[in-house]
Amino acid sequence: MDFRLAQRGSKDYLRDILAFEKKSVYYVIMVADPVMRMTWILYVVFSHDIQHSGAVSYIIAIVEIFRRALWMVLRVENEHCVNIAQNKASRDIPLPYRIQEDDGMV
């Protein structure tokens, strides 16, 4: 819900305005984020094994850094899409000059 992805009235249960072209990215993130949040359970599993505690802590820290970076990218993307919907921002900025179409011939 943090990224406003699960919208009931929207098409495919996603927001109407999306920044990424592939919708599968959003579905993967919706599944991966809760799984990455639950990596602390590894501390419970390996609580008595001192040799693995350093490696487990390192893996959990890397996963948490990746999860927070992913959250940050989606949070910025969400704010940009909200600004587009409210006409505070534009997806494409028109150039002040005209570009000629390339006909593909060299």
Summarize pLDDT for 42-82 with one digit per residue, the tens. 777 767 765 567 777 888 899 999 999 988 888 888 888 77
Exposed / middle / buried, residue 74 (Cβ in 10 Å: 0-12, 13-18, 19+): buried
> Which of these, 30, 31, 53, lies nearest to 42 by C-alpha position?
53
- For the chain, the domains span 11-85
The whole-number pLDDT of residue 63 equals: 93
Q: Is the pLDDT of residue 99 over 70?
A: yes
Ranking 19-28, 33-42, 80-89 by mean pLDDT, the lowest is 80-89
DSSP 3: T
> What crossing angle do the helices spanning 50-85 and 24-37 adopt, rounded to 10°?
140
Is 0.85 topped by the overall pTM?
A: no
The whole-number pLDDT of residue 67 equals: 92
Tokens standing for 19?
Answer: 């920044």
> Which of these, 62, 61, 59, 67, lies nearest to 36 by C-alpha position?
67
